[in-house]
């Protein structure tokens, strides 16, 4: 292709690439200029300083050689003397650059291939920058995509304008995805890496559940109901504490929905994860009683300095309060942000008896 040739074709190519890759047209034109500069250096010598300019309106291409004005020439391909420069430009002075127009050149096969590589690389870099900027601003959102492939348990998701990854530890346990499956997940991180921007998704993040409730419960979206805390054991059980800014709206009832429709929609997305919804209160004692449901609590003792709570439950309620493999008390502790110790009434009675005996002796 001659540089001076088909001006319209150059602009049409730039427009087509910019549209296809969703990048700025000027980025493509600059990539073309860089490619032409590289190809011209192949003809005039790699040490030659060459400048190419494509007019973005007309497509007209101009090419110059830049020659530095020096007192004594050491590199003839890059430098000229002041005396010579002044024959071309009387105002020339040491340190300036003299521009020398070059004739239009034909790209040979190798030069054209080299130019193509430069354009492809520049466009790829611009595409990566665009993708990073777009998704870095979307951290904290839920996205929909389709499964592109599964590698070593990690799921690669096609988002349409980019690829994302759900690592194995960010998937709900026993969750299986195959090629083409639709998937919803939460963007929790976007990083620039050597092979381009990496978008990290999660289905186990507590905020994934919060965003799902926001989609299902209009009152949360509108800010009438606030999610104050979430604790999850992904795929098994979760506890969520909510509060209402409007005394006429029951936050728990609004999240559950008519016949449980709203909470069931979230449960279905989370592979059957059981969700306990409790009303948030700033009274820690009341909050821990609600958080340990379905167990009944007989007594609560707070150590505010150590942020520790001692909970006394009836003997027959101990296993219910602790939960399977400690799940109930662990989630309650995460929800409140305090450590919780559980005692039975008998254990507390024995301890008080022992303390009384020690004090008496």
Cis bond upstream, residue 294 (ω within 30)? yes
Please state whether 59 falls in left (phi above 0), alpha (psi between -120 and 50) or beta: left
Whether 228 is covered by a domain: the verdict is yes
The verdict on 166 and 74 lying in the same domain is: no
The verdict on 264 and 304 lying in the same domain is: no
Q: What is the pLDDT of residue 112?
A: 59
The verdict on 11 and 126 lying in the same domain is: yes
Cβ–Cβ under 8 Å, residues 234 and 138:
no
Sheet with 225-233: strands ordered across: 225-233, 237-244, 274-279
Mark which of 225, 254, 280 sits at the end of a domain.
Answer: 280
Q: What is the pLDDT of residue 68?
A: 80
| Residuewise pLDDT in 10s, the chain (361 residues) | 333 345 667 777 778 877 877 778 888 888 888 878 887 777 777 777 888 888 888 777 888 888 787 877 777 777 777 777 777 777 778 878 877 788 776 655 655 566 667 777 777 887 788 888 888 889 999 999 999 999 988 999 999 878 899 999 999 998 899 999 999 999 999 998 877 788 999 999 999 999 999 999 999 999 999 999 999 999 999 999 999 999 899 999 999 999 999 999 999 999 999 999 999 999 998 999 999 988 888 888 888 888 889 888 888 888 888 988 999 999 999 999 999 988 888 887 888 888 778 777 6
pTM for this structure? 0.70
CATH number (domain holding residue 219): 3.30.300.20
CATH number (domain holding residue 162): 2.40.50.140
Cβ–Cβ under 8 Å, residues 181 and 203:
no
Whether 1 is covered by a domain: the verdict is no
Provide the number of structural domains found in the chain: 4
DSSP bridge pairs for 196: 193
Whether 62 is covered by a domain: the verdict is yes
Report the C-alpha gap between 279 and 288 in whole angstroms: 11
The verdict on 106 and 21 lying in the same domain is: yes
Q: What is the pLDDT of residue 3?
A: 39
Cβ–Cβ under 8 Å, residues 31 and 127:
no
Q: What is the pLDDT of residue 83?
A: 75
Q: What is the pLDDT of residue 125?
A: 81
Whether 2 is covered by a domain: the verdict is no
Q: What is the pLDDT of residue 6?
A: 56
The verdict on 149 and 113 lying in the same domain is: no
The verdict on 109 and 18 lying in the same domain is: yes
Report the C-alpha gap between 156 and 68 in whole angstroms: 52
The verdict on 335 and 319 lying in the same domain is: yes
Mark which of 80, 113, 130 sits at the end of a domain.
Answer: 130
Task: Quote the domain boundaries for residue 170.
Answer: 137-202
Q: Which two tokens stand for residue 123?
A: 């466009």
Mark which of 186, 202, 218 sits at the end of a domain.
Answer: 202
The verdict on 168 and 108 lying in the same domain is: no
Q: What is the pLDDT of residue 346?
A: 84
Q: Which two tokens stand for residue 247?
A: 């005394």
Whether 77 is covered by a domain: the verdict is yes
Q: Which two tokens stand for residue 352?
A: 């008080």
Whether 193 is covered by a domain: the verdict is yes
Report the C-alpha gap between 31 and 342 in whole angstroms: 67
DSSP 8-state secondary structure symbol assigned to residue 167: -
């Amino acid at each position: 292709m001659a540089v001076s040739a088909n001006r319209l074709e150059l602009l049409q190519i730039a427009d087509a690439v910019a549209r296809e890759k969703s990048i700025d047209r000027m980025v493509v034109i600059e990539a073309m200029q860089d490619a032409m500069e590289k190809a011209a250096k192949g003809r005039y010598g790699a040490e030659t300083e060459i400048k190419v300019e494509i007019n973005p309106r007309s497509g007209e291409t101009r090419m110059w050689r830049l020659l530095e004005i020096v007192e004594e020439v050491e590199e003839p391909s890059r430098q000229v003397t002041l005396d010579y420069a002044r024959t071309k430009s009387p105002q020339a002075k040491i340190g300036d650059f003299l521009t020398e127009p070059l004739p239009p050149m034909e790209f040979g096969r190798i030069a054209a291939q080299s130019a193509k590589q430069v354009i492809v690389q520049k466009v790829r870099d611009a595409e990566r920058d665009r993708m990073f900027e777009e998704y870095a601003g979307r951290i904290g959102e839920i996205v929909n995509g389709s499964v592109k492939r599964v590698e070593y348990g990690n799921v690669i998701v096609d988002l349409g304008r980019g690829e994302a990854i759900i690592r194995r530890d960010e998937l709900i346990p026993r969750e299986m995805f195959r090629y083409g499956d639709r998937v919803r997940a939460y963007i929790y991180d976007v990083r620039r890496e050597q092979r381009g921007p990496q978008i990290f998704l999660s289905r186990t993040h507590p905020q994934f559940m919060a965003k799902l409730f926001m989609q299902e419960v209009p009152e949360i979206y509108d800010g009438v109901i606030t999610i104050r805390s979430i604790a999850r054991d992904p795929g098994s059980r979760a506890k969520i504490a909510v509060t209402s800014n409007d005394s006429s709206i029951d936050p728990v009832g609004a999240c559950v929905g008519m016949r449980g429709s709203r909470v069931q929609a979230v449960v279905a997305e989370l592979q059957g994860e059981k969700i306990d919804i409790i009303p948030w209160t700033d009274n820690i004692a009341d909050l821990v009683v609600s958080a340990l449901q379905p167990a009944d609590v007989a007594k609560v003792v707070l150590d505010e300095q150590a942020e520790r709570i001692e909970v006394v439950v009836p003997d027959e309620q101990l296993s219910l309060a602790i939960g399977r493999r400690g799940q109930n008390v662990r989630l309650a502790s995460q929800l409140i942000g305090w450590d919780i110790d559980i005692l039975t009434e008998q254990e507390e009675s024995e301890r008080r008896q022992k303390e009384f005996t020690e004090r008496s002796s």
